[in-house]
Amino acid sequence: MIRLVVVDDQELVRDGFALILDSQDDMQVVGTAANGVDAIGVCRATLPDVALMDVRMPGLDGLQATRRVLQESPATKVLVLTTFDNDELVVGALQVGASGFLLKDTPRASLIASVRAVAEGEVMLDATVMAALVATHLGPAHRRNHETEIARMTPRERDVLRCVANGLSNAEIASALHISETTVKTHVARLLSKWSARDRVRLVVLAHEAGLVS
C-alpha cells in the first residue's frame, strides 16, 4: 500500500487528487494540507511514502516545505505539482530533493502511474516542463566539464543515461534498448555511483550539463 499526503492550497485540486488516488486499491491518502507549514506537520505525523506538493503556496512555499519534509523523513518521495508559472521554484524543489514534477492538469491515468513510479524510486519529469527547464536552466550556456564521469561510463550506460535524461521509465528504457528492467536498474545504480548522484533527478541535470542530451 502506497501511503500518500496531498498538499495544495486550492481545495478543489487537493480534494480532487486525494479522491482519485484514495480510490486505487494500492493507495491510501493518510493526510492532506493546504500550506507548507501544515504539510510539514502532516508528513511528520504520518511518514508517507509519497507527498504530492504544490510548489506555490502562501507563507511557506513548496520548495521550503519539501526541504523540511525530506530532512525529517528522507524515505518520503516528493512529487511536485505545478502550473509551471514559476520555473525557478520547480528547479529549486528538484535541487532540494524532489523526485519529479507534474502539471496540475495531468490526465488521471498519468497521475496514478506517476505516483506508482515515484513510490518505486523512479523520477517523473513531465516532457513539456522538462523541455522548458532545459532551455532556461540547463542549455548550452550551463554546460560543465564532466569528462571524468563520462570516461567512466560504458557505451550501454551512456545509452541508459540518455534515456533517463529524456524522462523514460525503467520499463520504457528496457523496451527501447531491448534489455530487461532488472538490467536497467543495475545500470541506473551504477550511473548513480559513477556520477555521485543522489537520485535520478540529479542524473538528468548532470546529463544535460555534460551535453549528453540534445
**Residue 167 maps to which CATH number?**
1.10.10.10
CB-based contacts of 18: which residues, under 8 Å, 6+ apart? 4, 6, 29, 32
Q: Torsions phi, psi of 196, nearest 5? A: 50, 45
Q: What is the mean predicted confidence (pLDDT) over 14-22? A: 96
Domain that holds residue 157: 139-209
Q: What does pTM read for this prediction?
A: 0.74
Q: Which CATH number do you get for residue 97?
A: 3.40.50.2300
pLDDT tens, 105-148? 889 998 998 899 889 877 776 666 666 666 665 555 555 678 88
Of 98, 6, 80, the closest CA to residue 43 belongs to 6
The phi and psi torsions of 133 (rounded to 5 degrees) equal -65, -40
Which residue intervals of the chain are DSSP H helices? 11-22, 36-46, 62-72, 87-95, 108-119, 127-137, 147-152, 155-165, 170-177, 181-194, 200-209
Q: Is residue 23 part of a domain?
A: yes
- Per-residue model confidence (pLDDT) at position 124: 72
